[in-house]
């Protein structure tokens, strides 16, 4: 199970984030997922696959050339952890302010609870403060 969960995490970052494959969201994310560390418009954790699709569309719109390198993946039981490096250019206006065209590079860790071959719950600790600093916010 650990190797399967590691592969799922790698697929998540490669297909959903790097390739922008929105159809992979349905393949890899449970419909009733809760994603802590990512927030919706009301400031609450992202709940549900549709809310994640909205977040994904907005973030990838702001950083269309985003590339996430998975540095490490560790898995045990129903949990998998990925340590990541994120790079991109802020070339879209989708975050609610004009694109800065600034490059960003920040790191983060994602922990996922996997159930029935899909991410059912996740905890994200990405350095969005560093990203915002690089954007001049």
Please report the DSSP string for 74-89 in residue order. EEETTEEEEEEEEEEE
Task: Output the pTM of the full model.
Answer: 0.93
CATH number of the domain to which 46 belongs: 3.10.450.50
Per-residue pLDDT of the chain (137 residues; tens, 9 = 90+): 799 999 999 999 999 999 999 999 999 999 999 999 998 888 899 999 999 999 999 999 999 999 999 999 999 999 999 999 999 999 999 988 999 999 999 999 999 999 999 999 999 999 999 999 999 99
Helices (H) and strands (E) in the chain, counts: 4, 6
Domain that holds residue 25: 2-134
**Domain count of the fold of the chain:** 1
């Amino acid at each position: 199970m650990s190797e399967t969960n590691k592969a799922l995490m790698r697929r998540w970052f490669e297909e959903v984030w790097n390739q922008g494959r929105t159809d992979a969201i349905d393949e890899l994310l449970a419909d009733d997922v809760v994603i802590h560390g990512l927030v919706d418009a009301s400031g609450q954790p992202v709940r549900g696959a549709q809310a994640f699709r909205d977040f994904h569309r907005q973030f990838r719109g702001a950083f269309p050339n985003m590339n996430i390198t998975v540095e490490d993946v560790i898995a045990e039981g129903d949990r998998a952890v990925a340590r990541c490096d994120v790079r991109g250019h802020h070339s879209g206006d989708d975050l609610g302010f004009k694109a800065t065209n600034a490059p960003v590079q920040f790191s983060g860790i994602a922990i996922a609870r996997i159930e029935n071959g899909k991410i059912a719950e996740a905890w994200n600790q990405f350095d969005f403060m560093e990203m915002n600093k690089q954007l001049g916010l």
